[in-house]
Chain A
């Protein structure tokens, strides 16, 4: 029995620590098992440095044919049998083949790492960054340990940010003009705008503004699109008459947004839309969807 237990237990404990782990910002990250853990946050072109400690179990030695740490950027498609695509892969050899008898610590550093994509956890895929420590062995298989961290990249406000202004309608039935003050919003931004009723011949019950996220994966015939409504924000209650103008003020901060991602590694896109929905008394919906761009602004 003891043998068996020993066989299933890893032969050693591997731990990964970041050199600025105490001072670095930690953010919550949802794991596959549903638990949320706090992980360090990085951005592109930062150096990722730290230490790997390997401590064999009491009274055991580890024979290995090399120890390495990799920094991997992976895209995992859920529908593609869990296949990974590594878009970034950096390796540091930590040790030449040999035996480890006691706790051994290896410092490592990846300096100025290009991490163009943000960590993303979507409906059909995830994009993650991970440190992978491998203790390679000839027999008994390699011992592998992962260390998660997150990447977020900040953008400066776009130089051109036009408002969205549009007149839409159904002939002789409903004509409205709406305006959103910008087309690009940062994630804590507030959408200001108004809806102006030019013609109202239907009995409107209420009007909502929805924020929709459109995640598309794959390409061509294999494209998978997942749309999710993140916000349903009531703008108006009751039936307006011609000439009424209804204000919009929607704070984005309460919603779990990400920046807009366009064609990430030719694998996926995440886009955001504002959907203006008018509902009439027969519960018919009249809507108009407009794409907006979300970007991440550095917290001031």
Chain B
């Protein structure tokens, strides 16, 4: 049925074109033979094809364009005709003899164009006549095209100032009058389309109307091109009259399109100077008009205008642009009670962008906007609508983008209040946006107050909000969020220790509520941040003013102790252990023996009580050994206790090779190169021997269990430890011990039961090469090596 309609339409169009071409052919012939009577007859017949009611606007346009081309030729002919002595006035009458109105008016406009050019009558009179006569076409589509033709032929003939058709003093008024009248009539026809025809074709009609809208809008464009319209005229007559038509037509499509048109075609400075008039029209529009888009575009344009030159900014202040816009938005929202919340937010969002561009210094404006937004949102609860929340994110991101500085945004008291209305998910998104902004701009947030405010803003990431659903959270997303929080914590810094300490306390306060899933992400950066502060203080004289309250490493360590403890409760013992060790090392550097001891104790307790996984144990024990080795703060007794414990743990590891490695690592605990009081050669040897025993045991176990001995790697590793201490001058490590170890390895390797292990072979070979190398290098070390036979 519909397909048939389209096909029919094609047929009708084809028939129309054929008829038009045929008559155009006869018309050309008449033109060629200068036969005016025939030319008029055939042109009228040709134009009669435009009388059709069967074509959609789209197809009609095609037909119209063909007629248009022909009319250009006819116009040339008329011009020549007047040069041949035919009076233009007679010609103007002659074409009006045509019986059918549509051809008559097309011809009249065509002759009218020549008439104006001839200057035998003032342009304004001819134009006035034409625009009046066109009233005869009341059919919307035909009328719109006819008037569009009139607009087209007249646009270069307006009696504008500076034009060759310029008239008397009020010439621009005449030009405006003409365009406005044509515009008004066209708009009326356009609006009327909506109400003609059956209701079920409403959608089709609206589509057709939108195809025609540019014909109407063109008039506004022409209007904007009239030189003679100065600001006063625009303000006093042009704009009010255009708006009057827009408001009075009471048509949704027209109002939306035309308001947008006005905003786009007239210069920004005019908009600025006529803001009250322009804005005054908005609340009068139909409640269904999409005002938010139009108004947003206006604000966008004004923003760009403000950005274009600093010179125009005073104008904005002078006309109180912000107050007017703000006021207008309020009124529009009031006038359209059914406006979805999305619209409201979009409007405020645009206003915010506007004020940020135009009045970057007026934070209070921005805050006002946010406040107004909060007011509108209040009582609506959390926003469910996806688009609306997105728009809020845009709204809240705007100040961040503008100032590149969260600090400024933090001064906006209404900022967090808007955030309240976001659902958890969006809240997180917004928090991420904020953090990203900080990181991108490397914003320094350097006071505890601001940190407090900031964390209040991003609390969606910091803790579970009420009623939040915990499941459904993507693991990766979660990690990413928390990592960004971690990065943020690292960024908070103040050179002033007092303030930094406050910052740390603030952050701590916030993150501790984060729950077991967040703490592993947030505690480490806080710890390291604190340690950084410790290191900073460490360089200074302690307590330079002797004030009790001032920040001391001790105080920080106390805080750290409590902080890390939260991790062990989660539980995240491995992480806690690492952090304890870090703290211990820092305490060591601060010469705080008891503190360091305490941290170690905590670490050991964790090791004993919480870390049961053998692999974790291995890692932990090596960390402990490594850290302990570097500690210099401990007295002999404490150190003994700790090393003893560590060695003990080492020997109790599950797998023999792990035991072996831990034990030989422990040897370092007794020999610290730069600490003369820790050079206990004997205990080093003991450790190494013990390691050897364990290695042996491992070989035997392997032999017993699998029928072949394991790799000799352990032996080679121990050999390397021997060589290390040998070089460092441990008297207990002598050539003989090394020699026998080399032989042991050699024997083991040659044993039948040994499993071939190329890596171990290579390791051993390169160890031997090292010995040879040292020998050849000579010097004191070379001499020492000399007796060893590889």
Q: Please, which residues of chain B bring their CB within 8 A of the CB of A251?
A: 93, 96-97
> A33-55 toward B: CB 8 Å interface, digit per residue (1/0)?
00000000000000000000000
Query: Is B99 a contact partner of A247 (Cβ separation < 8 A)?
Result: no
* B102 proximal to A (CB < 8 A): yes
- Whether A103 sits at the interface, judged by CB under 8 Å, is no
In the complex, are the beta carbons of A238 and B137 less than 8 A apart?
Answer: yes
Q: C-beta contact mask, B79-107 vs A, less than 8 Å → 1, else 0?
A: 00000000000000100110111101000
B132 in complex: contacting residue of A233, A239, A247, A253, CB < 8 Å: A247
Provide the residues of chain B in CB contact with A246, threshold 8 Å: 135-136, 138
Select A249's contact among B133, B139, B140, beta carbons within 8 Å. B133
Task: Looking at the assembled complex, report how far the CB atom of B431 sits from the nearest CB atom of chain A, in whole angstroms.
Answer: 57
With an 8 Å Cβ cutoff, the count of chain A residues facing the other chain is 20
A237 lies within 8 A of B97 (CB): no
Q: Cβ of B382 < 8 Å from any Cβ of A?
A: no
Q: How far is the CA of A206 from the CA of B137 in the complex (A)?
A: 9
Given contacts A234-B100, A235-B101, A237-B101, contact A247 B136 (CB under 8 A): yes
| Residue of A with least CB distance to B146 | A237
A254 at the interface (CB under 8 A from B): yes
Tell me whether chain B's interface is mostly helix, strand or loop, or mixed. helix
A40 to B789 Cα, complex, angstroms:
157
- Is B487 at the interface (CB under 8 A from chain A)? no
Find out whether the CB atom of A238 lies under 8 angstroms from the CB atom of B142: yes
**B192 at interface by CB-CB < 8 Å:** yes
Interface string of A8-24 (1 = CB under 8 A from B): 00000000000000000
- In the complex, the answer to whether B93 meets A240 with C-beta atoms within 8 Å is no
Interface residues of A in 131-161 (CB under 8 A from B): none
Name the distance in Å between A1's Cβ and chain B's nearest Cβ: 52
B143 within 8 A of A: yes
Closest CB-CB distance, B73 to chain A, in whole Å? Answer: 24
Contact A236 B97 (CB under 8 A): no
A279: chain B residues within 8 A (beta carbon): none
Annotate A233-261 by CB proximity to B: 1 below 8 A, 0 otherwise. Answer: 11111111100111101010110000000
A232 within 8 A of B: yes
A245-B135 contact given A233-B99, A234-B99, A237-B101, CB 8 Å threshold = yes
A237 CA / B137 CA spacing, docked (Å): 5
Determine the chain A residues whose CB is within 8 A of the CB of B746 once the complex forms.
none
What A residues does B133 contact at CB under 8 A? 247, 249
Partner of B135, one of A233, A234, A239, A247: A247
Closest to A194 in B: B135
Q: B58 within 8 Å of A by Cβ?
A: no
How many angstroms between the C-alpha atoms of A246 and B138 in the bound complex? 9
Taking A237-B137, A237-B142, A239-B139 as contacts, is the C-beta distance between A254 and B101 under 8 angstroms?
A: no
**Which of B96, B99, B136, B192 meets A232, CB within 8 Å?**
B99
Chain B residue nearest to A232 (CB atoms) is B99
Q: Is the CB of A254 within 8 A of B97?
A: yes
Contacts of B196 in A (CB 8 A): 239
In the docked arrangement, what's the CA distance between A231 and B96, Å? Answer: 13
Inter-chain contacts of B143 with A (CB < 8 A): 237-238
B140 touching A244 by the CB < 8 A rule? no
Which residues between 128 and 183 of chain B lie within 8 Å of chain A, taking CB atoms? 132-133, 135-140, 142-143
Whether B192 contacts A241 by the Cβ 8 Å rule is yes
> Which B residues touch A247, using CB under 8 A?
132-133, 135-136
A207 CB to nearest B CB, Å: 9
Q: Quick check: B138 and A244 within 8 Å, CB to CB?
A: yes
Report the Cα distance A254→B101, complex, angstroms.
Answer: 16
Instruction: Look across to chain A and name the residue whose beta carbon is closest to the beta carbon of B96.
Output: A251
Question: Is residue B202 contacting chain A, with contact meaning CB distance below 8 A?
Answer: no
Measured CA separation A30–B93 after assembly (Å) = 28
Give the nearest-CB partner of B51 in chain A: A237
Chain B residues closer than 8 Å to A235, beta-carbon distance? 101, 136
Assembled-state Cα–Cα distance A241/B191 (Å): 12
Minimum distance in angstroms from A239 CB to a CB of chain B? 6
Query: How many angstroms between the C-alpha atoms of A156 and B177 in the bound complex?
Result: 40
User: Would you call B139 and A237 a contact (CB within 8 A)?
Assistant: yes
B138 to chain A: which residues have CB within 8 Å? Answer: 236-241, 244, 246
Instruction: Give Cα A68 to B133, complex, Å.
Output: 60
Contacts of A233 in B (CB 8 A): 99
CA distance A86 to B547 in the complex (A): 145
Q: How far is the CA of A254 from the CA of B102 in the complex (A)?
A: 19
User: Max chain A CB contacts within 10 Å: which of B97, B101, B143?
Assistant: B101
Interface string of B108-145 (1 = CB under 8 A from A): 00000000000000000000000011011111101100
Q: Across the interface, which residues of B come within 8 angstroms of A237, CB to CB?
A: 51, 101-102, 136-139, 142-143
Contacts of A238 in B (CB 8 A): 137-140, 142-143
- Closest A residue by C-beta to B189: A238
Q: Which residues of B contact A245 (CB under 8 A)?
A: 135
In the assembled complex, the Cα of A231 lies from the Cα of B136 at a distance in Å of 18
Interface residues of A in 255-288 (CB under 8 A from B): none
Task: For residue B364, give the distance in angstroms from its CB to the closest CB of chain A.
Answer: 50
A251 to B89 Cα, complex, angstroms: 13
Question: Chain A residue with minimal CB distance to B188?
Answer: A241
Chain B nearest CB from A276 CB (Å) reads 14
Taken together as a complex, chains A and B put the C-alpha atoms of A234 and B133 apart, in Å, by 12
* Chain B residue contacts of A249, Cβ below 8 A: 96, 133
Partner of A236, one of B51, B96, B101: B101
Residue of B93, B104, B138, B192 with most chain A CB atoms under a 10 A cut-off: B138
Q: How far is the CA of A239 from the CA of B138 in the complex (A)?
A: 6
A234 contacts which chain B residues (CB < 8 A)?
A: 99-101, 104, 136
B143 to chain A: closest residue by CB: A238
Contacts A241-B192, A251-B93 known; A236 to B99 CB distance under 8 Å? no
Chain A residues positioned under 8 Å from B99 (CB to CB): 231-234
With the chains together, A227 CA to B196 CA distance in Å? 37
Q: How far, in whole Å, are A231 and B99 apart by their CA atoms in the complex?
A: 8
Give residues of chain B (506-534) contacting chain A, Cβ–Cβ below 8 Å.
none
Please indicate the chain B residues that have their CB under 8 angstroms from the CB of A231 in the complex.
99
CA distance A239 to B139 in the complex (A): 6
Which residues of A sit under 8 angstroms from B97, Cβ to Cβ?
Answer: 251, 253-254
Chain B residues near A254 (CB, 8 Å)? 97
Q: Which residue of A lies closest to B192 (CB)?
A: A241
**Closest CB-CB distance, A275 to chain B, in whole Å?**
14
CB-CB contacts below 8 Å: B563-585 with A: none
Q: Mark B178-216, 1 if CB is under 8 A from A, else 0.
A: 000000000000001000100000000000000000000
User: Chain B CB within 10 Å — which of A206, A234, A237, A244 has the most?
Assistant: A237
How far, in angstroms, from A223 to B233 measured CA to CA in the complex? 67
Q: Which of B104, B135, B142 has the most CB of A within 10 A?
A: B135
- Residues in A neighbouring B192, C-beta threshold 8 A: 241
Q: How far is the CB of B249 from chain A (nearest CB, A)?
A: 12
Q: Tell me which residues across on chain B come within 8 A of A253, comparing CB atoms.
A: 97
Which residue of B has the minimal Cβ distance to A204? B138
The 0/1 profile, CB within 8 Å of B marked 1, for residues 164-180 of chain A is 00000000000000000
Besides A236-B101, A236-B138, A239-B196, 17 more A-B contacts (Cβ < 8 Å) are A232-B99, A233-B99, A234-B104, A235-B136, A236-B136, A237-B51, A237-B102, A237-B137, A237-B139, A238-B139, A240-B138, A241-B192, A244-B135, A244-B138, A251-B93, A253-B97, A254-B97
Chain B interface residues (CB < 8 Å from chain A)? 51, 93, 96-97, 99-102, 104, 132-133, 135-140, 142-143, 192, 196
The 8 closest A-B pairs by CB, nearest first: A238-B139, A238-B138, A234-B101, A240-B138, A254-B97, A234-B100, A236-B136, A237-B137
A to B CB contacts below 8 Å, 13 in the list? A234-B100, A236-B136, A237-B101, A237-B137, A237-B139, A240-B138, A241-B138, A244-B135, A247-B136, A249-B133, A251-B93, A251-B96, A253-B97
